[in-house]
Copies of this chain bind each other. A is one copy, B any other.
Amino acid sequence: MKNNPLPRLDENEEIRETLLPHCRLKLGDIWCDPQRKHRVGCLDATNEEHVGQLHEGETASLAIHDPPYNLVAFEERRLHEFIDWCERWVRNSVTHLSKDASLYIWLGADQNNSFQPLPDFIIMMRAIKDVSSRSFITMRNQRGYGTQKNWMAVRQELLYYTKGHPFFSVQYTDIPKILRGYYKEVGGQLTENGERSKSNNIRPGNVWVDIQQVFYRMEENVSGCYAQKPLKCIDRIISASSQRGDLVVDYFAHSGSTLISAERLGRSCFTMDIDPIYCEITIRRLEHFRMTGRLGWQNSHPFEDIISPN
């Protein structure tokens, strides 16, 4: 395994300066995949024109957004600004959804700051026409940040909204039931759930406990991206809420996971990021996947040609 990780790209100005000249997109540019119908735009999700340019009239069956959220401390004003900012890209996204479509949004609930912005975001969403709440999903991490004075924090929130009556395909988990001792009659026989759990029909429900967080030993790891979502959860969303050939969008590409997942599952993906570096990572990740079959760079990174191991 190579050992050539990048530091967090959002925090290291020197590395950003090194990488920017190698990024093929600048603000306003859109890369159109020559092989399939994907697009990556260096665009601002709150900008109506930008979003219109990305879509070019095509509506999406599914949107998955993972907005960056870096408020360091609770400040009433900044929280309102964040929610206003969210409202702008949410409205842009809803405008470009198909008549029947699904909208998933990753969010946090900061336990040190009165659980913001989750409740504020949910209340803002009530004013958005044409979409309805559908499910509140929590992803349980296997590792958390903890203290001896509190419950260890091991969670990420995912809100699911729908427009019209979208496609939905039930998904199954690959881990067995956790608890024993629940009996149920199946085919005239009393069975214990330890037995029944061997079936392939266990659904993850809206608390996902079977997804490994990305870390440096996993092939899909893209070092430098501090908030990479595991492909397993993106695959699950795309498989549940879209069909082959459908258009999936993601306005905060970051490490490009939605694009990779869409590529593997036979969907098109239009994605954007306001930062040229994440756009470049997203495009390189797709190219790297097509060339090598690999999902990421494990403990190396997308810019090995520019920044080599120490």
Query: What residues of chain A have their CB less than 8 Å away from a CB belonging to chain B?
Result: 109, 111-115, 118-120, 122-123, 125-126, 132-138, 140-144, 146, 148-155, 159-160, 168, 170, 175, 177-179, 181-183, 193, 203-207, 209-212, 215, 217, 240
Contacts and interface: CB of A to CB of B under 8 A. Distances in A.
Contacts of A204: 151-152
B140 A181 contact: no
A152 B206 contact: yes
A212 B217 CA distance: 34
A134 B135 CA distance: 24
Contact of A136 (B109, B144, B206): B109
Contacts of A181: 212
The number of times this chain is found in the oligomer is 2
A111 B123 contact: no
Contacts of A115: 122, 133, 136, 159
A210 B114 contact: no
B175 A142 contact: no
B148 A168 contact: yes
Nearest to A131: B114
A73 B42 CA distance: 43
B142 A114 contact: no
Given A133-B113, A182-B215, A217-B183, A138 B119 contact: no
At the interface, is chain A mostly helix, strand, loop or mixed?
mixed
A193 B63 CA distance: 34
Contact of A153 (B120, B141, B206, B210): B206
Nearest to A149: B168
A126 B115 CA distance: 10
A148 B170 contact: yes
B114 A209 contact: no
A205 B140 contact: yes
B178 A138 contact: no
Contact of A205 (B152, B159, B170, B182): B152
B138 A155 contact: yes
B217 A142 contact: no
Contact of A135 (B111, B137, B205): B111
Given A151-B135, A151-B204, A205-B153, A210 B112 contact: no
B152 A203 contact: yes
Given A133-B115, A136-B115, A205 B120 contact: no
Contact of A179 (B149, B206, B212): B212
Contacts of A153: 135, 205-206
